[in-house]
Structure 1
């Protein structure tokens, strides 16, 4: 919006804050069960931790599979029926499902509950589409940075809160997650306005667009978006090198226990939050989307190289800021993609991107964990504990080359139908200014996940 735009109303601030909280709760709901889920499974099956590990792997894979399948479904539904309805149903469904999980008497009911959680937690794609609806092109990277900060906050607090609550009762984290989701639903029911006017919605719900592979066809219609989406996939795939091997790697190479691992994960989350909530907003006006992307990706490569080659713990810690600075590339890339897609297809775009991230989550953990196990085994072609991180660095080097190609050929002109619609100049348009003011708590101020 221009400088003449009126100050954001309390209702508009609350709408943006609700999207922020929704994303944070999705991540919190994912992280809060990490410390307690294996123990709950052991309790339910009456077996060993080894048997529980099999169930944990199956549940994690199926959770990501549900995300892969239903992210485009939610995105397409939001294009047809509006963002508000889909977000509220997801929040309500997530709350009810956590109650079911908290009461689950068998591991199979727990398994089914996590499948439903994966479906409901797919609302992240709709939240991204909401931001694309209400925030002008030049401020979208800052807005996506706010969502990235929400992701980081959930990543920091989720496992810590789950461990604290689980020490009191192994089922208490699920009750707390249920309460937070249901409170979020009630809050959103009264304060969240619809961001997609009826005249800008899709005329019908098309199943060919809603299935994950059909949603990806959308990306092929926009060549530069397809290239940037491929970069997005490579970034997410590389990230699972850290998710799937870090605990074992830190113990094997540095002798770090659970406390040291927890501190370093908190450090990762803190650095990520600073990058997403502060640096992107401050650097975007000076550098622009394209330079931010081409600065962030090489820094991420450096971070993974530190991880892979560090023989002592302090060198590994040096790599964390580099890795987190790589987060400078994500929000501007996402903003560029929204600028190339028609307004009535923003939900499909975000659904397709969420599906790509989920697809990385289906295959990434097994890929990196098996590589780590192979290269520390007696059958290893060479002893290389950091192989997972070195492969991640290679993937991001390829992503850098691909991103350079994409941004050199991306369409610079603003499509006519991408201009801010008249319906957003009234009640909703000032929401965009929220991302450039200090309306959220200081650690949640926007700047561009």
Structure 2
């Protein structure tokens, strides 16, 4: 009962946060254009700034996700969740106050800075929190529920934005993000003890020999918690399963973002996420996981993801927009299954670090993908295409999804790694 209670508060927090951040998606393009290039249909400055922002977000997430996850293992999930959730409110509040050119530049700078910490971190820490409070055999279902809540928040947020003015959209988004912080601080219980003195982090030393001052000890332990590049590579080499999971995460996200960049249709995204909410229901995950296993369901999901993309590439008809997303009832499972497999490769004190590593790799794929697929899509939709194939970029995305599928086949039944193979903080 306590497990369900904790998870319910996490779901409400995640829904409110995602709802707030997704509300601005339909409006941010218009705000950017009106602030930088008023009265113009095209704006190269807006394109360059958006590309720069995405690059900063992806590279920052690659570096910060393992750090935040690692710190959450020591300081508690709730403590680390507070940081990105508070930082998210600030840029939203600026555009809620005004959208002049100067205010937009202030928003842009703050957004770039805060995104280094905020981009993907709430979802990553939410997965680690769920892993702390859910038994191994039910983690895939719990992670699937988190994805379903995120998808439903996306749909609700974007739909709500269509009934609000631009100024009201950012004001409501900032208010909702603030409510998410307050709700989380009041109701969400921490899953990792705030006191970290019980487990010395310095190899070969005991707590008493480090320092007799608890404050100094805590500072020193936090410093030794910070992962280096060597630590991250060691984490990737913790097991073959973890390494394959990292490869699947990169290529799977590379293909997914490539599909979105190639379609360029918000209605498709809406239909996709609406069906995703149904596919992630509590009814299917508990049935399929015991019957097929997480590794098989991961491969099945990636296979249908590939088929889904290839269908888009070869059939550019109106009905494809409505039929192809129906495959999401199967391929949407690959993310929670991958997260569950990763969670079983490390111990309870390393969930944040492991999920942060995978989230960082996924976020980096989100940067690389548009740089590759957006120009490729523009080329094959133009008059200068080497040959006539409007869906060529989508077919390339499907081929990348096939790489992820092949790698997933090599993943064996997930099992917790031995404690001696765990990476020391």
Q: TM-score band, normalised by the shorter chain? A: 0.7 to 0.9
Q: Return the match for 2:23 from 22, 32, 35.
A: 32
Q: How far 1:391 moved relative to its partner?
A: 1.1
Q: 1: CA distance between counterparts of 2:153 and 2:329?
A: 16
1:50 corresponds to which of 42, 55, 60: 42
Match of 1:176 among 172, 183, 200: 172
The within-5 A match list for 1:204-223 is 204-205=221-222, 209-210=226-227, 215=232, 217-223=234-240
d(CA) in 2 for partners of 1:275 and 1:125?
Answer: 21
CA–CA distance in 1 between the matches of 2:49 and 2:390?
Answer: 26
Match of 1:391 in 2: 396
Alpha carbons 1:101, 1:109 under 8 Å: kept: no
Aligned with 2:280 (options 264, 276, 298):
276
2:377 to 372, 394, 406: 372
Q: Go from structure 1 to structure 2 and tell me whether the alpha carbon gap of 1:216 and 1:209 turns closer, same or farther (over 3 Å shift).
A: farther
Report how far residue 295 of structure 1 moved. Answer: 1.7
Asked if 2 retains the 8 angstrom alpha-carbon contact of 1:297 and 1:399, the reply is yes
Deviation track 1:281-321 (CA, whole Å, cap 9, x = no partner) reads 33112222122122212111111111110031213432211
Structure 1 residues 190, 83: closer, same or farther in 2, change over 3 A?
Answer: same
Q: Distance in 2 between matches of 1:327 and 1:35?
A: 23
> Please, what TM-score do these two structures have when normalized by structure 1?
0.79
Q: State the aligned residue count.
A: 391
**Which residue number corresponds to residue 186 of structure 2?**
190
Deviation readout 1:10-53 (Å, 9 max, x if unpaired)? xx544312322333344334422222112222333354342234
How far apart, CA to CA, are the structure 1 residues paired with 2:199 and 2:278?
Answer: 36
For 1:216 and 1:126, how far apart are their aligned partners in 2? 21
- Rounded to whole Å, the distance in 2 between the matches of 1:272 and 1:29 is 19
Partner in structure 1 of residue 9 of structure 2: 18
Aligned-pair CA distance for 1:92: 2.4
Q: Does 2:229 correspond to 1:246? A: no
In 1, the alpha carbon distance for the partners of 2:420 and 2:150 equals 31
Decide whether the 8 Å contact of 2:346 with 2:417 is kept in 1: no
Q: Distance in 1 between matches of 2:364 and 2:127?
A: 18
Contact 2:85 2:118 in 1 (8 A): yes
Show the counterpart of 1:440. Answer: none
Distance 1:180 1:319, change over 3 A: same
Alpha-carbon shift at residue 140 of structure 1 (Å): 0.3
Structure 2: distance between partners of 1:42 and 1:97: 17
**Aligned mates of 1:390, 1:202 — CA distance in 2:** 51
- TM-superposition CA deviations, 1:41-87 (whole Å, max 9, x none): 23333543422344333334433343333222221221121111111
Q: Match of 1:15, SS? A: helix
Q: CA deviation at 1:386?
A: 1.0
Is the 8 Å Cα contact of residues 38 and 53 (structure 1) preserved in structure 2?
A: no
How far has the Cα of 1:211 moved from its partner? 6.2
Distance 1:116 1:162 in 2: 25
Per-residue Cα deviation, 1:325-366 (whole angstroms, up to 9, x for no partner) = 211222122111111112211111111111111101111112
The answer for unaligned runs of 5 or more in structure 2 is 202-220
Q: 1:207 to 1:321 in 2, by over 3 A?
A: farther
Q: Are 2:151 and 1:152 aligned? A: yes
Gaps of 5+ in 1: 1-7, 251-260, 419-449
Residue 111 of structure 2, aligned match among 114, 117, 121: 114
Alpha-carbon deviation of 1:371?
0.9
**Any idea what SS the aligned residue of 2:385 has?**
coil
